[in-house]
Every structure is written in C-alpha cells, then in structure tokens.
Amino acid sequence: MSVDIHLGDNLDVARRLPDASFALVYLDPPFNTGRTQERAIESATRAASDLPPLVPDPASPVKGGFRGASYARTRGALRLYDDRFDDYWGFLEPRLREAWRLLKDDGTLYLHLDYREAHYAKVMLDAVFGRECFLNELIWAYDYGAKSRKRWPSKHDTILVYVKDPGAYFFDSDAVDREPYMAPGLVTPEKAARGKLPTDVWWHTIVPTSGREKTGYPTQKPEGILRRIVQASSRPGDRVLDLFAGSGTTGAVAHALGRDAVLVDHSPDALAVMRARLPEAHVVS
C-alpha cells in the first residue's frame, strides 16, 4: 500500500487530483482558520423586519452554485447574524467542493471540527453535498485538560459525515472495532464478551503524552478515532485522502489497514513529522 505526501496549499493540490478517485476524504482543518480578517462592524439592535425571512423571497437574486445550490441566499441570511461567516465560508467552501468532486460515487466525507465552527460547516455541507447526503453528526468525547468553573467544560469535538450518494454509499459496520458495554450486566455474557458497535458518541482518550503514538505535533488525533473511520467507510485497497494531514495519523492508520493514502499539508514541520512516522511514504514534489 502506498502513502503519498504533498507539501503545499491543499486547495492547489486537490485541484490537481483526478475526479472520483477516493473512497474516503477526512478533513481536520485548523479550528477558526479563515477568521483572520475579521471586520469591525457597528453594533446595533435589529428589529424583526431586519431578520431574514423564514421563506426565501423568490424575487431575490440567487447565484446558481455547485449542483444548483443557491449560495447567495444562504450566505446573505447568515451574514446578518455573524459578519465573520463570510471569512470562514471563503476558506472552507472551496475545499468542500473539491472533496465532493474527489469522492467516488460510494464515497464518504468526514469533517472534524470543534463547537465554534460546526454549525457553519453544517450549513455549507448541506449546500455543497445536499441535505439528503447528511449521514451522521459524530461526537468525540474525551476528558482531559483544564476545566472551566464558569460554564460546562468543553470536552468534545464534532465530526460531520456526508456521503456523495445517499443511495449508494459504502459502510461496513462489521469491520469496525467494537467497544465494551457501559452496563455489561444488562446483556448476555456472549454479548458482553463480543462488545457493542459504537454509536454516534465516541468516548476515546486523546493521544497519551507518553504513548507510542505521540509525535509531539500539537493537533495530533488518536489512531483509534481514525481507525474507526477508515474501517467503516473504506475497503482494503481503497484510496483515502487527508487535506490537513498534520502528524500523518490518517496515513499511518490507512497504511496499517491496507489502504492507499494521499496526505497534504503546507507545513514543513508537519512534513518532517510525517516522514519520521511514515518512512515508507513518498514525498511528491
């Protein structure tokens, strides 16, 4: 199985890759990326008449977008609530469009975010993929790090799952590693020994500071999370794409499970970590 690493802008690299060439695309963009050009706006209290209508005005101009999506109306409505939305849309939306193009007809996208951006991304994915292509909202819950005493501590990430074709996507629940029952006494000994299929809430620790996985990369994700994704949504021999590869966890897991992987990152530090972690990888110039 091959692992190719591209150093460069992921949008430029994605646009050079052929259509429908990946069974699985995993995106783990830096949280809050795209909000570097926040604009100062005047504070004002909006009257009810200032808010976007619940039913779109058929006379309002609509830009014909990807797959016929009406982007202008969606963007205009959301900007009334948060002027910074356009920054994030401008960064993420073209990468989501490339992900859709690069997926095979039975392919699946996993978009990994935190609570600050998940709601924006859900709207974008509904526009790019179509609401009917939404499969799951996964919650990765963990319990590590500082805990606020002024609000409920934030101890989860959100992973949005969309398929290219809701009538033809691949999903292999039998291949997924099972997990222990939380109340094993309520099931038969046979079931308790086998374990249960994961739900859409995944309890999994972060990368242990002294574990074998640790690379020192600051945003490294645990192999257990990626292994579950790769097992469920790809077959041995399939190709997996990660446009924000970072420490190379997607590539390490895909290679171990008999998949080909294409990894992209713009950071020379990430490249150095991936080359040390994946000595079999080929760096594409």
Share of the chain above pLDDT 70, in %: 80
The pTM score is 0.84
Question: Residues 8-35: pLDDT tens digits?
Answer: 999 999 999 999 999 999 999 986 544 4
Look at residue 83 in the predicted model and tell me its pLDDT.
61
Sign of CA dihedral 118, 123, 124, 126: positive
> What's the pLDDT band for 73 if we cut at 50, 70, 90?
low
Q: What is the mean pLDDT of residues 264-284?
A: 95
User: Which one is predicted more confidently, 212 or 25?
Assistant: 25
Domains of the chain, with CATH numbers?
3-35+63-284 (3.40.50.150)
Sheet with 282-284: strands ordered across: 201-203, 134-141, 156-163, 103-113, 22-27, 239-242, 260-265, 3-7, 282-284
Look at residue 82 in the predicted model and tell me its pLDDT.
64
Q: What is the mean pLDDT of residues 233-247?
A: 97
Check residue 134 and report its DSSP letter: E
Q: Which of 109, 171, 167, 161 is nearest to 139 (CA)?
A: 161
Question: Residues 245-256: pLDDT tens digits?
Answer: 999 999 999 999
Alpha carbon distance 24, 159 (integer Å): 14
Question: Residues 108-136: pLDDT tens digits?
Answer: 999 999 888 888 899 889 989 999 999 99
Burial 179-202 (b: 16+ CB within 10 A, else e): beeeeeeeeeeeeeeeeeebeeeb
